[in-house]
Amino acid sequence: MTDLSALSQRLASLTGNRTSTPRLRDGVLTLVLDVSGLARDARVAMAEAVEREARAVPGVEDVRIAQTAEKRDRAIVAVASGKGGVGKSTVSANLAIALAKLGVRVGLVDADIYGPSQPRLLASEGEKPQAEEKQLIPIRGAGVPMLSMGHLVQPGQAIAWRGPMAANALGQMIDARWDDAEVLIVDMPPGTGDVQLSMIQKHKPAGVVIVSTPQDLALIDATRAVNLFEQAHVPMIGLVENMAGYACPHCGEISDPFGSGGAESAAGVMGMAFLARIPLSIAIRTASDAGTPPAAGTGPDAEPFMALAGRVKEWLDRRQA
């Protein structure tokens, strides 16, 4: 009769105590392997190593491994605005990349179902995610795992879906196989419609970042977005002022085509943290259109996004503590 105690000890050492006590019956060895928090490649490699070790035991003719994983408590950070055209998607993409540079295990969901921008911003247009056990497997853009409706339809195809269909698509992306991601940045569609309500009710964001330009009209719309999330008791991480100040590339003079300081003032009035001021920059615009987000590099164009990520990370660390 095969003694399985030595095998059990070897497997515990090999996997870091992730295996159950192995059982052998009629030549078939069965065990449970805990793969919580492991990326797909790591899960496959560990299961193969366990099987090799088990098959080396006399009397073992077949090995059956049941993999199990604990559902991780990911923090969902929604990036929202009250209106379109304020650069919310650019902020979302660069925030995700900057957080990754700070050591946060992060994923990016493009929840702007009707106007997905992230495939262009992260140079992943035309890529199609695979599925495993009815879960989507994120693709990578600029080194960050991501999913977008733009990956699921043909480029340029109009998406004419009613609210429930859009909400279901959002759920599939959020519940995808994010492996060890601890934070999901969700680029929300503009406004306060069905997708926002579904996000709040079903997926319960840990917090929200509001993006606005300095102009009064954008701030009025941003206030509506703030009210929506506050009514749902979603904590406010803070407000970002985008397109704030333009430095002429020829003379260096600063002008303010959208006004100046409006979002910071509004944050003070609403009792919110002011997170960052991001300039109106040709370099940021051209880099984003080219699929090379500024936060992925270094220099002055990356600095405001790194500052934003630092403040969001501090907020997440306080929440965790």
**Rounded mean pLDDT of 117-122?**
92
pLDDT at residue 170 is higher than 90: no
More confident residue, 104 or 258: 104
Tell me what percent of the residues of the chain surpass a pLDDT of 70: 88
Rounded to whole angstroms, the Cα distance separating 311 from 321 reads 15
On average, the pLDDT of the chain sits at: 86
Per the annotation, does 85 bind a ligand?
A: yes
Q: Does domain 75-320 have CATH number 3.40.50.300?
A: yes
Give tens-digit pLDDT for 13-31.
999 999 999 999 999 999 9
CA distances from 79 to 8, 93, 99, 217, 285 (A): 47, 10, 14, 19, 19
pLDDT of residue 81: 86
Q: Is 88 annotated as a binding residue?
A: yes
Q: What is the pLDDT of residue 1?
A: 45
Which ranges of the chain does DSSP label H, i.e. alpha helix? 5-15, 40-55, 88-101, 118-121, 163-174, 194-198, 216-231, 262-270, 282-289, 303-320
Greatest mean pLDDT among 104-113, 146-155, 183-192 lies in: 104-113
The first and second tokens of residue 175, run together, are 């519940």
- 83 labelled as ligand-binding? yes
Give the per-residue pLDDT at 105: 95
Mean pLDDT of 298-316: 94
Query: What is the C-alpha separation between 195 and 169, in angstroms, rounded?
Result: 10
What SS3 state is found at 39?
A: coil
Residue 260: name the closest of 274, 281, 272, 242 by CA.
242
Query: What does the DSSP assignment read for 161-222?
Result: --HHHHHHHHHHHHTS--TT--EEEEEPPSSSSHHHHHIIIII--SEEEEEE-SSHHHHHHH
Domain boundaries, the chain: 10-68, 75-320
CA 18 to chain centre: 27
pLDDT at res. 285: 85
- What is the structure's pLDDT at 261? 63
CA distance linking residue 259 with residue 182, whole number of Å:
37
Which amino acid is located at 99 in the chain? L
pLDDT above 80: residue 137: yes
**Interval 239-250 mean pLDDT:** 78
d(CA 106, CA 85): 25
Higher pLDDT, 154 or 18: 18
- Give the per-residue pLDDT at 112: 83
252 is in an annotated binding site: no
The yes-or-no verdict on residue 115 having pLDDT over 80 is: no
Instruction: Give the per-residue pLDDT at 89.
Output: 94
Domain 10-68 has CATH 3.40.50.2300: no
Of 282, 315, 313, nearest to 300 by C-alpha is 282
Of 5-19, 48-62, 263-277, where does mean pLDDT reach its minimum?
Answer: 263-277
Residue 8 has pLDDT above 80, yes or no: yes
Is 89 assigned a ligand-binding role in the annotation? yes
- Where is pLDDT greater, at 173 or 261? 173
3-state SS, one letter per residue, for 219-250: HHHHHHHHHHHHHCCCCEEEEEECCCCEECCC
297 labeled part of a ligand binding site: no
pLDDT level of residue 161 (50, 70, 90 thresholds): low
Instruction: Inform me whether the pLDDT recorded for 178 exceeds 50.
Output: yes
Say yes or no to pLDDT of 84 above 90. Answer: no
pTM (predicted TM-score): 0.77
Element (H, E) at 66: strand 62-68
Asked whether this chain's domains 10-68 and 75-320 adopt the same fold, the reply is no
Q: Of residues 281 and 312, which shows the higher confidence score?
A: 312
**pLDDT reported for residue 269:** 80
